[in-house]
Amino acid sequence: MKKILLSTILVFTSLTPANGQIGSTNSVTRFFVAFGFEKITVTTASIGFTTATIQPAGAAYRAEKAEMSVEGCPIRYKTNSSGTALSATTGILMQVGSSAIYGWDNINAVRFWRDTSCSADATINVQYYR
């Protein structure tokens, strides 16, 4: 019985990281804190997040997560400026609904454009987190 108990303890000890959390020792739990909000109208021209909102002047933080609610019409987006230019038919299609963009580089670079499947403007409600 002592051998079984000792074996069980050794197995569980080897599976549990030093910090006591179950899972990989390389995993990181990240908590985000909301700090800003904006409403963006997406038309037939490229638009991004407002710089003063994603990186407030004098603040020691900037946006690391943008949680979005796309309303009205589908949109297209692109998070880099290389390659094919963003347009109403080129870019990642984002349907009406909720989505998120993570990482400062992506949030700072993202551009949106209304998709051709809709003739009305789209609206994005965005909550920013640091």
Consecutive 10-residue runs of the chain (130 residues): their mean pLDDT?
Answer: 48 42 53 96 96 96 97 95 85 96 96 95 98
Q: Are 53 and 128 in contact (CB under 8 A)?
A: yes
Element (H, E) at 35: strand 34-42
CA dist., res. 122 & res. 114, Å (int): 6
pLDDT score for 27:
57
- pTM (2 decimals)? 0.75
Residue with tokens 């580089």: 105
**pLDDT, position 28:** 63
Say what the pLDDT of residue 80 is. Answer: 83
The predicted pLDDT at position 10 comes to 43
Report the CATH fold assignment for 32-129: Jelly Rolls (2.60.120)
| pLDDT at 12 (0 to 100) | 42
CB atoms within 10 A of CB 107: 21
Neighbouring-strand partners of residue 100: 67
The secondary structure of residue 18, as a DSSP letter, is T
46 CB neighbour count, 10 Å cutoff? 16
